[in-house]
Every structure is written in C-alpha cells, then in structure tokens.
C-alpha cells in the first residue's frame, strides 16, 4: 500500500469540494510538480498537497493509487505468464528440432544413445552441430543451398536454423 507524499499536489476547488480529474477515467490528477499544478488552475481552484486533503479525499486517492499499482502488478503478472508460455513453446520447439537433427544423425547407431532428448545440445554447441553440417555436406556432395548463404562468421543460431530447415526440406 502506498501513502501520500508531501511532494504530490492536486488542483482543488474548495467551494465545490472537487478535485481535478481525468475526463476519461475519472481518476484524480496528481502532480509531482507544484508549478505544473498551478498552470492547470482556474480562478476558484487552489493547489494543495495530497497530504492536506480531507480524510475522504485522501482515502479515495490512496485507493486510486493502490488500484493502479494492483493493475500494474496484474499486467506484470500476465506479461510474466505470457513470457513463460512463450518460453515453454520455444523449448518444446527446440526439443522437437533437436530430435529432428538427432534422427537425421541416426544418434541411436552412433553410441550417443545415452542422451535424453532434453540433453541434445545442437542448438548451443558447435561440437554437436558441426558433425551435422559435415554429414549434410558429405551426403549432398557439397554444400546445400540452405547452407550456402552462411559463412565462417555465421553464429551458431543461424547455422542451427539452416540445418533444421535443410532437414525439414529433406524429409518432405
């Protein structure tokens, strides 16, 4: 829960017991700069510190602030959940692609069958990926089109995705 600060101001119409609000949301407008608040005053309005509001206005403003904080926390929570779902999908796809490469490499007959699918490291190790590129080059009697655009300066991720694309095309 957030408290009100001496450095926050509102525009207040004492005669009508009214605080300046946003038209769209109806929320009280809180200014962090007194001069900015003064610029938004009409003749019958004054700028006052939020801490000087009447009890019912303080309560309303604290609720408004806390609701905004809760809304922001809920949005962060949703964003975190979305990121978690996207990460799981990416991990599932990566596992699927690593299995695709392992099947192409016929991993069962290479003596590497001790690995679980989740242990395949084609996506993050040149030591795993280079033998795949070498096998592709050997079986295709040269470099296939999918790998031609790659250079010695390509990063592992680019080569990985090119290998996956090549194997997918080969399996069609």
pLDDT of 98-155, one tens digit each? 889 988 888 766 665 666 777 888 888 999 998 998 888 888 776 666 566 665 567 8
CA dist 81 and 103 (Å) reads: 33
Residue 2 confidence class, pLDDT cut points 50, 70, 90: low
34-85 per-position pLDDT tens digit:
999 998 888 889 999 999 999 999 999 888 888 876 677 777 777 777 777 7
For residue 1, what pLDDT is reported? 44
List beta partners, residue 18. 13
Q: Please name the residue that has the structure tokens 């399996």.
A: 171
Is the Cα dihedral 98, 99, 103, 105 positive or negative?
A: positive
In this prediction the pTM is 0.46
CA dist 45 and 91 (Å) reads: 58
- Other beta carbons less than 10 A from residue 64's beta carbon: 16
For residue 144, what pLDDT is reported? 65
CA dist 50 and 3 (Å) reads: 10
């Amino acid at each position: 829960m957030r408290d009100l600060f001496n450095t926050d101001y509102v525009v207040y119409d004492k005669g009508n017991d009214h605080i300046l609000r946003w038209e769209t949301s109806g929320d009280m407008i809180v200014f962090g700069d007194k001069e900015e608040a003064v610029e938004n005053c009409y003749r019958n309005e004054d700028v006052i510190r939020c801490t000087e509001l009447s009890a019912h206005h303080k309560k309303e403003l604290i609720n408004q602030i806390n609701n905004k904080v809760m809304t922001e926390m809920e949005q962060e929570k949703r964003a975190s959940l979305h990121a978690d779902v996207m990460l799981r999908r990416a991990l599932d796809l990566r596992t699927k692609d690593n299995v695709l490469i392992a099947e192409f490499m016929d991993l069962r007959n290479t003596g590497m069958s001790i690995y679980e699918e989740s242990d395949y490291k084609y996506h993050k190790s040149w030591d795993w990926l280079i033998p795949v590129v070498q096998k592709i080059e050997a079986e295709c009697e040269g470099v296939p089109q999918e790998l031609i655009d790659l250079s010695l300066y390509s990063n592992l991720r680019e080569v990985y995705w090119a290998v996956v694309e090549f194997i997918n095309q080969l399996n069609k």
